[in-house]
Amino acid sequence: MKRLNVFCNMYGKRLLVGRLAAADEGILFQYAESLLGSKLSLSPFKLPLQPGVFKDEHKTFDGLHGLFNDSLPDGWGLLCSWTGNSGPKVRASGTYHPLTGWPW
C-alpha cells in the first residue's frame, strides 16, 4: 500500500496535516490527530476537519481529492519528471498511480 504523510509549512514550521493512502477502495485521507483540535480545515466542504477516513466517492481525479490533485505537476511537469529511466515506461505500462507524483 502506498502511503504519504501530508505536511503544511506555516510560519516557518512544518506541520503534519494528515496521511494519504492507496487502498483497494481508492485513495484515502485522514487528518493527523494533532490537527483535529485546530481550525485548519484543508477543504471545508470535501474534507471537513473531523476524525475519520475520507475518500472521493466520485473518483474525479483517479480517486485523489481535488485539493491534492491541484498540488501535482501538470502535464508538462509530469513529462519532465518522466525523462529519467522509468518515467514513460511507468505510464505506458499502466502502473502509474496518482500518489506517484507527490513525493517531490
SS3 5: strand
Q: Mean per-residue pLDDT for 42-49?
A: 89
What is the arithmetic mean of pLDDT over 34-61?
88
* The pLDDT of residue 25: 82
- What confidence tens digit (pLDDT) does each residue in 26-42 have? 889 999 999 998 888 88
Q: What percent of the chain has pLDDT over 90?
A: 27
* Among 86, 48, 49, 43, residue whose Cα is nearest residue 61: 43
The domain locations on the chain are: 3-101
Percent of residues, the chain, with pLDDT higher than 70: 72
**Torsion-angle region of residue 48: left (phi > 0), alpha (psi -120 to 50) or beta?**
beta
Mean pLDDT, the chain, integer: 79
Task: Round to whole Å and give the CA distance between 9 and 94.
Answer: 33
